[in-house]
């Protein structure tokens, strides 16, 4: 009988890396470590400046470690009038807007894969075209006003439901799934809506999580809708309220500086509000919720983009 040749692997499962492999690994870790620090440092810089002495922060002396730690900036921000209702509006429009966008995107992406859909190619091309062209700000405002959506909560939701780019991602993802799944359900008597809810929707979790991230970030960071369509203070979003607070704080800080107020002690100067401290604190408050939510969807995000971007 023919004897098998012994493998050229060391016994015990130990494998000795070559010098070139070690250099390559060290180089990779170094490069990615530098990129990681570059991405993390801006957020770290904002946080340490919000809890440091406002006087030192305004002078640009807080770069790596906090100095004169205090939390007066957050206390001042939380005492802002209308902050609670504005936060509820932002949370509400983010949650409702994300859910409606995901459902509408999933259903339209699914319908555009159905060959029996009436004028399927025409409607799909129509959706793709509106991704590149829009009527503009003034016609959009007139449309919202004519529909009676100005100064209503639904002006945050309805215009953002249909997102052509997300529909393309979902459509491509569904086309990559085996057609036998839907065919078997159709043979068993399942209709269009039942196949969508029970067959297609459960297996589209990665791409729908990706769409949810896009929708949630867009809804949470958007303040222009409030600026354009809302005059009722009860419907102000958190981002718009903090935006106006930044402008007012900057004006007040400039007035204090021009008047030359004297006699402020070191402790007062350390906690006195400055444009820099307000901008940093507002930025942390706005960005922090997304930073907390994003890691939970990251694994779906990468998989959804990769599968949904390439057919087959």
Higher-pLDDT residue of 46, 300: 46
Point out the least confidently predicted range of 165-169, 238-242, 301-305: 301-305
> Dihedral angle at the C-alpha atoms of 281, 284, 287, 290, nearest 10 degrees?
-130
C-alpha closest to that of 90 among 230, 300, 272: 230
- 170 neighbors 205 (Cβ within 8 angstroms): no
194 vs 197: CA distance, rounded Å: 5
Point out the least confidently predicted range of 68-72, 257-261, 292-296: 257-261
C-alpha closest to that of 248 among 273, 223, 269, 230: 273
Largest CA distance in the chain: 101
Q: What is the pLDDT of residue 44?
A: 87
| pLDDT reading at 136 higher than 50 | yes
- Can you say how many angstroms the Cα of residue 188 is from the centroid of all Cα atoms in its chain? 40
30 vs 26: CA distance, rounded Å: 6
Q: What is the pLDDT of residue 36?
A: 86
pLDDT digits (tens, 9 = 90+) for 75-95: 777 776 777 788 888 889 989
What average pLDDT score do residues 165-184 get? 81
What average pLDDT score do residues 289-306 get? 66
- 46 neighbors 283 (Cβ within 8 angstroms): yes
State the pLDDT confidence band at 235, using cuts at 50, 70 and 90: confident
Point out the least confidently predicted range of 140-154, 176-190, 246-260: 246-260
Q: What is the pLDDT of residue 299?
A: 65
Residue 167: both structure tokens together: 């529909």
Residue 69 sits at φ, ψ, to 5 deg, of -60, 130
Q: 72-312 has which CATH code?
A: 1.10.3720.10
Q: What is the pLDDT of residue 16?
A: 67
Q: What is the pLDDT of residue 100?
A: 92
Residue 135: both structure tokens together: 């009527």
- Domain coordinates of the chain in residue numbers? 72-312
Point out the least confidently predicted range of 38-52, 87-101, 264-278: 264-278
Given CA atoms 236, 97, 166, 148 in this order, what sign does their dihedral have? negative
Eight-state DSSP code of residue 11: G
Query: Mean pLDDT for the chain?
Result: 76
* CB-based burial, 160-175: b 16+ in 10 Å, e otherwise: beebbebbbbbbbbbe
Higher-pLDDT residue of 246, 44: 44
Higher-pLDDT residue of 90, 193: 90
């Amino acid at each position: 009988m023919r004897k098998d040749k012994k493998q050229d692997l060391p016994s015990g499962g130990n494998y000795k890396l070559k010098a070139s492999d070690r250099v390559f690994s060290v180089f990779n870790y170094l490069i990615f470590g530098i990129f990681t620090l570059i991405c993390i440092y801006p957020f770290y810089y904002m946080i340490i400046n919000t809890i440091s002495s406002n006087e030192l922060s305004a002078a640009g002396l807080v770069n790596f470690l906090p100095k004169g730690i205090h939390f007066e900036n957050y206390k001042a921000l939380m005492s802002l009038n209308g902050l609670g209702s504005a936060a509820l509006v932002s949370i509400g429009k983010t949650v409702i807007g994300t859910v409606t966008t995901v459902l509408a995107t999933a259903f339209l992406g699914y319908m555009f894969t159905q060959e029996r859909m009436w004028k399927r190619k025409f409607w799909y091309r129509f959706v793709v075209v509106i991704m590149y062209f829009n009527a503009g700000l003034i016609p959009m405002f007139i449309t919202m006003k004519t529909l009676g959506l100005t100064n209503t909560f639904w002006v945050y939701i309805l215009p953002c439901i249909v997102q052509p780019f997300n529909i393309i991602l979902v459509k491509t993802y569904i086309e990559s799934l085996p057609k036998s799944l839907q065919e078997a359900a159709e043979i068993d008597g399942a209709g269009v809506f039942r196949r969508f809810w029970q067959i297609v929707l459960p297996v589209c979790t990665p791409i729908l999580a990706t769409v949810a991230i896009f929708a949630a970030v867009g809804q949470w960071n958007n303040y222009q809708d409030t600026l354009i369509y809302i005059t009722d203070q009860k419907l102000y979003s958190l981002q718009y309220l903090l935006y106006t607070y930044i402008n007012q704080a900057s004006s007040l800080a400039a007035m204090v500086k021009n008047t030359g107020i004297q006699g402020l002690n070191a402790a007062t100067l350390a906690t006195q509000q400055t444009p820099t401290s307000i901008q940093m604190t507002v930025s942390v408050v706005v960005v922090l919720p997304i930073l907390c939510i994003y890691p939970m969807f990251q694994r779906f995000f990468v998989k959804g983009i990769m599968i949904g971007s390439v057919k087959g």
